[in-house]
Amino acid sequence: MRVILCENYDEMSEKAAGMFAAQITLKPESVLGLATGSTPVGMYKRLIEMNKSGTVDFSGVTTFNLDEYYPIKRDNNQSYFTFMKDNLFSHINIDLKKTHIPNGETKNPVKECEQYEKMIRQAGGVDLQILGIGQNGHIGFNEPDASLNSFTHLTSLTDSTIKANARFFESANEVPKQAITMGIATIMSAKKIILLASGASKSRVVAELLNDGINTSIPATLLKTHPDVVLICDKDAYLGAKLGVDIGGTNIKFAVVEGENVKYKACVDTPKTTDEIIDTIVKETKKLKKEYKIKAIGIGTPGVISGGTVTATNLPFKDLALDVEVAQRTDLPTNMDNDANCAALGEVIFGNTTDCDNIVLVTLGTGVGGGVIVNRQIMASNKSAGEIGHIIIDMKDGRECACGEKGCWEQYASISAFVKDAVHAANANPDSVLNKIYEREGRLSGRLIFEALNEKCPVAEEVFDQYLEYLAVGIKSIAMAFGPDAIVLAGGITKEGDKLIKPLRKKLPKDLRIEVSTLQSDAGSLGAAML
């Protein structure tokens, strides 16, 4: 199988359209096997443009579509009949009498299948077959474990295909449960096959195409036995391993991700100088490259990224093109983004909000950090966009913030603020349990305040209640501003789980989904890998 790796969907569509057009130019009477679904739409668009500009002439071609739902009326707007009309046939100079799509209205599907197969043979067989690929590896509607030798037949759709195709219908219930499809044997008899794959949801199955195995539970792998198959896929679908690097003030975390599977995690101390930090990343990358097919690096770094460089306060980075430096020394495409953004991306791809498209991650630590994910992507940001810790919640007598403003949320909702408030209350209430713990330990921490709370200390309870108010006020503002599907809380204090979350929820709107990060400090490196 030849593989053409494209930068993105548009390039994939362009390449496929070029090959499709070349086939027609070489043989104007070509018999073409066509696919539906979202993947070939871009290719069809390009072909329409080429037809309009006179580059390709469809008047001589005969077409056979791979499949059609069953039962379905032709004029149903989700039928493949309608799909082909809308996406190709009514825009090009094709002879509609020479286009064929299995009849989803037939009362006798068995006969329809036999006739369809006969017509393909009578036309001289398919010269070029276009295929998409299902997330479960189906081609046409040949679902996992389908017979290897089947010709056009009536088949039942698997639950996963019904679920994947539900996006085109009102609901999964509306998706027909059966389809008439060319069989594997029909597809394999095409002289040439172009298989298209786009997007990360196909990466698992594309990886199966790239290894040596043939597996009937992934029907597309059978194509490996065909002498002339070209896989044209975009980078998202092409599974190489990605290395995620999360640079922190104390340590640097590494994660190797294949598709969406985490293969390796490591953590090393953060060296002092910029050169040493870059050396560490390069050394680790070179080591990991021997073991994994690393195709790209993503780096999450603290600080402000602007104009392609990063400047951080707690690391020696000043106007540093960190991604360029790492790319040059590793020979791998490298991207970088703010570490909190990476963590938010990690949460939506690997955490407990994978069912969401839009989330906000709020990390409660020394400060309050976070990232905003819109449509499963980091919200395009410049400078301080996404710096949710600096939402101003007190304008009048606001506490001073290191950023120069007064009343920033992190001055109230960070763990440092919580501890400061608790120390203040302990000093003011010498007989309290909270103060006893303070004197015993010589300091307070989130965990020690919870120790006082466990002992039902009223002073600690008051500090905690006030802290929850602060937390809630910022969370409510975030919810109003971004309308996320969920807000994910991370940071040491969230390990208290329900002790923190239950009373917090009482202060928030009922329909606002709050989750505690299951990834915690791993989110950054995992998200960076997905940059």
Active site residues: 67, 136, 138, 143
State which of residues 33, 42, 102, 134 lies at the interface with ligand F6R (CB under 6 A): 134
Overall size of the chain counted in residues: 531
Q: Which residue spans within 133-250 are E strands per DSSP? A: 153-156, 178-181, 192-197, 229-234, 241-247
Residue 29, phi-psi category: left (phi > 0), alpha (psi -120 to 50), beta (remainder): alpha
> Quick one: tokens of 103?
């009849």
| Of residues 136 and 432, the one with the C-beta less far from ligand F6R | 136
Residue bearing tokens 């991370």: 490
Q: Is 479 in the site for ligand F6R (CB under 6 A)?
A: no
State which of residues 67, 323, 337, 339 lies at the interface with ligand F6R (CB under 6 A): 67
Q: Is 38 in the site for ligand F6R (CB under 6 A)?
A: yes
Q: Which residue spans within 110-228 are E strands per DSSP? A: 128-131, 153-156, 178-181, 192-197
How many C-beta atoms surround the C-beta of residue 25 within 10 A? 12
| Of residues 79 and 338, the one with the C-beta less far from ligand F6R | 79
State which of residues 13, 23, 30, 36 lies at the interface with ligand F6R (CB under 6 A): 36
| Of residues 133 and 322, the one with the C-beta less far from ligand F6R | 133
Question: 3-state DSSP call for residue 185?
Answer: helix
Site string for ligand F6R, 137-176 (x = CB under 6 A): -xxxx-----------------------------------
State which of residues 12, 13, 37, 187 lies at the interface with ligand F6R (CB under 6 A): 37
When CB distances to ligand F6R are compared, the closest residue is 132
Report d(CA 207, CA 230) in Å as an integer: 15
Q: Least separation, in Å, of the C-beta of 66 and ligand F6R?
A: 4
Start-to-end C-alpha separation, the chain? 28
| Of residues 36 and 99, the one with the C-beta less far from ligand F6R | 36
Stretches 93-101, 135-143, 261-269, 467-475: which one binds ligand F6R (CB under 6 A)? 135-143
Residues 1 and 229: beta-carbon distance below 8 Å = yes
Q: Least separation, in Å, of the C-beta of 185 and ligand F6R?
A: 15
Q: Is 234 in the site for ligand F6R (CB under 6 A)?
A: no
Question: 3-state DSSP call for residue 235?
Answer: coil
Question: 3-state DSSP call for residue 31?
Answer: strand
Number of residues that bind ligand F6R (CB under 6 A): 14
Residues 264 and 255: beta-carbon distance below 8 Å = yes
Stretches 53-61, 128-136, 476-484, 520-528: which one binds ligand F6R (CB under 6 A)? 128-136
How many C-beta atoms surround the C-beta of residue 367 within 10 A? 22
- From the number of C-beta atoms within 10 Å of its C-beta (0-12, 13-18, 19+), residue 170 rates as exposed
Task: Scan residues 367-396 and list those touching ligand F6R (CB under 6 A).
Answer: none
Residues that bind ligand F6R (CB under 6 A): 35-39, 66-67, 132-134, 138-141
